[in-house]
Structure 1
Amino acid sequence: MDTEPDDSTEADAKGRPASLREDEVERALDQIVERGRPRLFRSVAELLASGTIAGVEIALGVLAFLAVEQATGSKLLAGLAFSIGFVILLLGNSELFTEGFLVPIAVVVAKEATYLRLVRFWALTLLGNLIGAWVGMWAIVTAFPALDPIAVTNGKTYATATLGLSTFLLSVLAGVAMTLLTRMRSGTDNDVAKVLASIAVAFLVAGLSMYHSVLDTLFIFGGIHAGGPYGYGDWIVFFGWTVLGNMVGGIGVTTMLRLVRSHERLREWRATDAPGPHASNT
């Protein structure tokens, strides 16, 4: 009489045999941890350089946004044009702060790096983003003075925004969208699919005017450089509010739910001594 194969030796912590495990989900997590681990062990100079060039690169997307909006009056078309910035980031392997939620956190939860490494990664990446954003927008406003009026208008939208529930939810949604982009890029090796995902999320975030801490910082910096009636004090208030919302959406919603779905595989990572840097390394 035929019997089912005994694969109990492959059972997870809940007793589920290998045949009932979600191989695709587990492979995706393995890739996230393995590919993300080296990012947390970059040197200070490497993290700052990657973050700074990301700020400059995303400024090129803002340039496309401003030029298209000025020519067409449509933020939806401008949002599509802005996707140039996300595609450049993708192909250039640069680091944007809001793309650094799912992957680095998964690495830390898998005990492949410490929380100190995570904080270091975030702080240096964000600092680099802001430096690159300031320099990039100064160069754009200086090189394209005809864009000054539209730069001032867009910067004012964010710098003088009312910081209420609507603003916070727009920043939460931006955090969700950006972390979803990270997950989609991690889930495929197809470059065309990655580019399409970048275009789709750029349209949502920029075209629908969600509140994205780094992206909107570029708009504000551009407006300040162009002589807008607001300053860095307005930016700091807006930036703090949107960073909080982005982290709630990117970490509290998307990342946590993804890790809950993969918690059994994470348990196995934490219980094994896989090769590579481990939590003892600070």
Structure 2
Amino acid sequence: MKQKPVVLVPACNRMIGQHPFHIVGRKYIDAIRLADCVPLVVPSIADDEIDVMLDLADGVLLTGSPSNVHPSRFGEAVRDTELPLDVERDNWTLPLIPRVLQRGVPLFAICRGFQETNVALGGSLHQAVHEVPQHRDHRGANDAPVEVRYGFAHTVNVEPGGTLEQIIGASPVEVNSVHGQGVGRLADVMHDSKAQQFQSVYYLQGFSGHGLALTGLAGKLVAEAIDGNASRFDTFARIRHRPFPGGRLLRTPALVAGMAYYRLKDLL
């Protein structure tokens, strides 16, 4: 029997009550299993243990998290003392990332993971994107239904002629977006023209762009494409969304009203 690929998943650090825990969002573990891989959650480890863990890895997944990369990692002081941080995760994921790339191990970076990757390779972050002039507020409403919180938030333009355009086609595309920090100065090696030296780096934005119910399937199709079989991914990518009647301004209110209507029907 063919052995399934092992994907390392660095854990976050969280205090629950008076006790410290290592935790990982279940959605990431479920997505790895849907891709027919074996997730291996790794707690905070020492520098001399990183290579030991990488010897076990066929891939590395850097997850999203409520926490942020400590600003000292990109030469800034903490501006907001309420900013959720995870220094223990920083201490080993930032040195982990260059070693992953040096080995040519596939790296899939999501949300905080992509921010970590940018910092580890020499870039910086905005500590509060919503406070930067001419930037959107990307924070999600914690009390909003999950369909709204992780629904389409804005469009992004894809760099013409780049690798991402070859994968998803023409831009702009609509994506979801839930984060407080964001990329400030993009690391030089992260520019598409220079990233060819890191053929093992993969990242997705708008991961749930075709609907939350299909996020797990999307993860499996991406894994297949990375493995060299992009036929199902290409079929999935050709799905086109019909524009919402009334445009973007009416989309969220109409969605909330519709959900409230059916909720009332359930109650009555």
TM-score by length of 1: 0.24
TM-score by length of 2: 0.25
Task: Indicate the structure whose relative CO is greater, using CA pairs within 8 Å and at least 6 residues apart.
Answer: 1
Structure that is richer in helix per residue: 1
Structure that is richer in strand per residue: 2
Which has more radius of gyration? Answer: 1
